[in-house]
Amino acid sequence: MTVPPDKEISFLESVNFSFDMALATLDIPEGMAQYIKNVNNVYQVRFPVKINGKIENFVGWRSVHSDHQLPAKGGIRFAPTVNQNEVEALAALMSYKCALVDVPFGGSKGGLLIDPKKYDRDAMEKITRRFAFELIQKDYIGSGVNVPAPDMGTGQREMSWIASTYAAHRPKDTDYLGCVTGKPVSLGGIQGRTEATGRGVVFGLREFFRHPEGVKLANLEGNSLEGKEVIIQGLGNVGYHTAKILEEEDGAKIIAILEWDGAIFDKNAFSVEEVFRYKVENKGGIKGFPKGKYYENSAELLEQECDILIPAAMEGVINQTNARRIQAKLIAEAANGPITFKAETILNEMGVVIIPDVYLNAGGVTVSYFEWIKNLSHIRFGRMERRYEENQNHLFIKAIEQSGTKLPKNLISQIGRGPVEIDLVRSGLDDTMQNTFQRIHDRYWAEKKVGSYRIAAMSIAIEKIYDSYRIMGIYP
């Protein structure tokens, strides 16, 4: 494929161009490459719902990009702009993401064309349940075939409605809780899923700063996030947790926050929690926040000078119209597809380093994988071993103290305690993000023809999917 010189391309084409660039660094037969790249299937559904006595019609999609591993996995998005091209692009990204971080799922994604802000809770419940019912009927939901999760415009509430709709229609399926992830903990969810994507972004950034070559490449300094100036777009699920953890655990400075109704800037940094509380109390907007300078045109602040720019809202926000004006040294793609293929070419020329979505926001699906395992095994993580480990740790402390060394009390309580679910989830997530970045880093620095972290990540993912298909063989 050759990129037309000035035309911006679609999200799916953007993903496919990255695929082609990564493929060029690999030795995979043409026919298999085509099979891996193409979306396997997509289901479009239209359905009516009676709201306040009036019948409204809705359209939605669920796409399966690859089923080299089952179930296929990916979020469901509720947005007023969602379309089939976007859902297919996001499904493809899910395949590459799962393969990259060693999560044994195929790639899928769903979308419902709706503006959730226009409907009350009861209407949203009716619409979500009806959409779920349509997908269940066609086997596009089920713990062994296809497992949705939250995405833009959906959260724990919608996942609960989907799980309970599934349970009502498949009453004999004892694994019904595994039909969807991102549920509340009281309904089979897992501790740490809500924060998972954001925490994964931070784990990924921390790992980036442990590698001096990359830090130098981005014209940054130091080996930590301490004091780094950060701009974040979107204070939703992913953006809020990313920004909060960066501020509170890493000492980064959140100098600008961009939302749908404007942006705020303060060189002295914001308290993320304060802005978030204001947003919740003000219908999801930040306009009128009493501190910092307000900008009506939110996107203008993408171009502000900073160390790290974190788009965490939606795709295509950095494109060929604004790419040349970007002043960030490092762009951390917390959202899916925030940089178009065209923009990336420009940013590469400018020397801006990009940590790609296919890696950086994989924390969500990683912890979804843990949740799914928990649902299938019908037991919470840590239940069997926690007290045993605690007893062993106390024996160990006793042995040290008997040898004459007195340990400080706070250390004893830290060493003594056995792991609870959240400790294990964070440990598994951190391990995944560290290991995966090391593999991306090694491939990027070892092979000259791999021109970016994205191409390195994509080439690892494609290789793994190819390997699965190769081992299975083509049937019948």
Residues that bind ligand NAD (CB under 6 A): 150-153, 197, 233-239, 258-260, 284, 298, 312-314, 334-336, 361, 364
Residue 377 structure tokens = 């095994």
- What letter would DSSP give residue 222? S
CA-closest candidate to residue 197, choices 205, 188, 208:
205
Closer by beta carbon to ligand NAD, 334 or else 353: 334
Closer by beta carbon to ligand NAD, 23 or else 275: 275
- For residue 126, what are the contacts with CB-CB under 8 A and spacing of at least 6? 49, 50, 51
How far apart are alpha carbons 373 and 58 in whole angstroms? 33
Instruction: Give the residue carrying structure tokens 């393969």.
Output: 99
Q: Cis ω on the peptide bond leading into residue 476 (within 30° of 0)?
A: yes
- For residue 378, what are the contacts with CB-CB under 8 A and spacing of at least 6? none
Closer by beta carbon to ligand NAD, 316 or else 416: 316
- Look at strands 146-147 and 72-73 and give their pairing: parallel
Residues identified as active-site: 109
Closer by beta carbon to ligand NAD, 178 or else 239: 239
What sign does the CA torsion over 463, 469, 473, 475 have?
Answer: negative
CB of 467 to ligand NAD, least distance (A): 24
Closer by beta carbon to ligand NAD, 235 or else 245: 235
CB of 429 to ligand NAD, least distance (A): 12
Closer by beta carbon to ligand NAD, 153 or else 178: 153
Task: Answer yes or no: are the C-beta atoms of 33 and 107 closer than 8 Å.
Answer: no
Strand residue runs (E) in 125-243: 146-147, 229-233
Burial bucket for residue 125 (CB in 10 Å: 0-12, 13-18, 19+):
middle
In the chain, count H helices and then E strands: 16, 13
Strand residue runs (E) in 91-240: 106-113, 146-147, 229-233
Question: How many Å separate Cα 121 from the centre of its chain?
Answer: 25
Burial call 399-421: b when 16+ CB within 10 Å, e when fewer: eeeeeeeeeeeeebeeebebbeb
CB of 330 to ligand NAD, least distance (A): 18
CB of 313 to ligand NAD, least distance (A): 3
How far apart are alpha carbons 472 and 467 in whole angstroms? 9
CB of 260 to ligand NAD, least distance (A): 4
Closer by beta carbon to ligand NAD, 23 or else 323: 323
Instruction: Give the residue carrying structure tokens 């065209």.
Output: 342
